[in-house]
Structure 1
Amino acid sequence: MTSSLRILLKKIVRKGRLQVTGADGRIETFGDGGGEMISLRFTDAEAERQLHDDPQLKLAELYMDGRMVVEAGDIYQLLALIKSNTLSEDLTFGMMWRGIARYIASELRSLLPVNHNQRNVSHHYDLSAKLFDLFLDADWQYSCAYFHPEGISLDEAQVAKKRHIAAKLLLEEGQRVLEIGSGWGGMAMYLAESSQVEVEGITLSTEQLRVSRGRVDKRGLSSRVRFDLQDYRTMKAAPFDRIVSVGMFEHVGRNNFSTFFRKVAELLKDDGVMLLHSIGQPYPSRFTNPFIERYIFPGGYIPSLAEVLPAVEKAGLLVRDIEILPHHYARTLRHWRERFLARREEATALYDERFVRMWEFYLAGSEMAFTHENFFIFQMQLSKSNGAVPDNRDYIAERESALAAFDATRPALETVAF
């Protein structure tokens, strides 16, 4: 093993047990020996040097390329071990200057006059629909599930999430609802069927648009649910009674928060209600993780509430409720990763082994953000009027109870057509 990597690992891994086989065949162990052993093997010395110089990016890339092999434990356990040990003083000079360079690059990208929203969305969401079918629930909910009560299945938890959101929207029959970021159509169909409302969903993914339109036609909901390929910023329509956005705000970008909420205010009736469901982090970040930025969600940014609330206030919107869900996404991601790996051969046939390792790293790293970095889900309820929402929260449970009765009789969802 290269001396530089040995020094770095000895400095970082103080707790736990990490066994590393270098490209030279030598085996070394780091940590205090506690817990389950995690074992790595490097295939070449250059991989060791690259990991030392830029661990934020190269840990993922070397795993993807098969140059760093996890032989005992799994990639989530490795990431959790590193994160539970790492302190700010463990950063090397190389890590610090790369961090500064990424911060500068992030700031420069934010100043560019050309926005690449559709290209960025396409990078992830226009992947084969068959890929997402490998690990999502029956309704293809690609956002945090709501495991209430404890112990329910992923499919049940995704229904509970839709029920929870619908209750907070205070829907009434005949209302017009806008969904910003409509995914594969599941939320829009649920709202239309459960509450007898009309829903217009917008997306920037052509693949999601194709699938969602097909699902609506097959479900017989075309008269009440419509999907369009539309950027929210250029949308022009009569104000809506309700607006919902689930798992889309992470793609807005921190320099576009004010634009987003001004458009919400423009598109929402004076007595309307909006529900925003998003990932949050406990403090503003200087830049997005370089692996996520390059391979998974280019242009994405996880906001902190400190960054979001000023933009809400400047848009003239009132915060009526904020709920923090700190652990539900970790469970959701664990389900997704286990389901994905259980069908690894099918995923490899769709793409290749490198892609599968990349996707595994993404799911494991995302789970680790919630278990070790204090990421959370926030559901923010907004309105323009104090009278749009009741003064107490009893209505949420009451409406969820009524929706649960609907869920018990709702016809099963059809298989998605590819």
Structure 2
Amino acid sequence: MPAPANADARRIYDLERSRVFHSWSAQGKLDPMVFTGAEGSYLIDGDGNRLLDFSSQLVYTNIGHQHPKVVAAIAEQAAKLCTIAPQHANEARATAADLICQVAPEGFNRVFFTNGGADAVEHAIRMARVYTGRYKTLSTYRSYHGGTALTVNLTGDVRRWGNDYGTEGTTHFFGPFLYRSQFNSATQEEESERALAHLRSVIEFEGPTAFAAIILESVPGTVGIMPPPPGYLQGVRELCDQYGIVMILDEVMAGFGRTGKWFALDNYGVTPDLITFAKGVNSGYVPLGGVIVSDKILERFLDQPYGGGLTYSGHPLACAASVATITAMHDEKIVENAELIGTDVFGPGLAALADKHDIIGDVRGLGVFWAVELVKDRATKEPLAPYGGSSPEMGAINARAKQNGLLLFMNYNRFHLVPPCNISIDDAKRGLDILDDALSAV
């Protein structure tokens, strides 16, 4: 995209590029978009153009932009109590914890608050290590769990490569993914069985008593939105029970309505030991994350102090935003809307696009959490862009979509459809129409 023409937006653009050190980026090649406003499912760029946000930023504005009830709750909390140390009780944090526990699975009755998803995962692993007296952790290659020293080591994708010093005790394995199966499976049932057999072998050959935890994204997100096949998560639960391993489900991206359920795990009838969350818990209006702790794990810490904490754990402004977000999601049936968009708009709409465009190799997802995988050849499944990179074709699709008012979430040879959970049917269909046109650009 060209730099903004508006003088004030151009000043912001130049200042950003000269002063801000950006994550995951070569600093000399920065070309950020300037946004000056937002409302609902739309963003307003520095030149006043409205873009339909099919990215939810980094997949976190589940309740949309500038939701008036959340904005008001933050302002009211700021006027009353901006901050308080985490050892003290306050209404916003206590109420947020209560609302989170109410939508969590049965047997999850305590919340440890963090400032985001990565530190939530850090503390979940620490809890598991204390609980088991073990150190190592199992994680899949197709995963993303954060950017700290531990969580980027748990991560399986390319962001780990330059940051993995082999010090965090992670053993990676392959999870199920039928479209690019590591197990030569022909059906989802075969993929589930063979992936579980592979995981069992890894545990047994590495030594079952070495592992404190296994961490899985309930539905892997950034790496491709890959809903697990039937029986897989239940099979992992059984292996954890057999070998005394703590099961952690990472719901940082998939939680709080994204899949059409409060948590993605609700689609699969499985109960872990710890649940990590962030993003959608308050739509990222103020940074917040945490660990929902099962009664089983909590028992260990009723008399034994937990050796961990954060200065801003359960910050009042963040928790007030969470209370307003969860309340609005109930009142406005936003979770139900996400499920409806998935079944009535994205599911059939993307299937129709796949019939029309030969470069679409695979479509998968649920709720407002979908991936479209683009290929050069459907028979060979050669990606339209290499793993860890991009291509002129992907760039052309992205540019055409932006030109027509659609902001996509792009990753390698895929784009993800991850709009706010309360997107309207009309806006969801409009996004698909723009996408249809963009796919015709290559």
TM-score range, shorter chain: 0.3 to 0.5
- Give 1 or 2 for the bigger CA radius of gyration: 1
What's the TM-score, normalizing by structure 1?
0.33
Structure with the higher helix share, 1 or 2: 1
Higher relative contact order (CA 8 A, sep 6+): 2
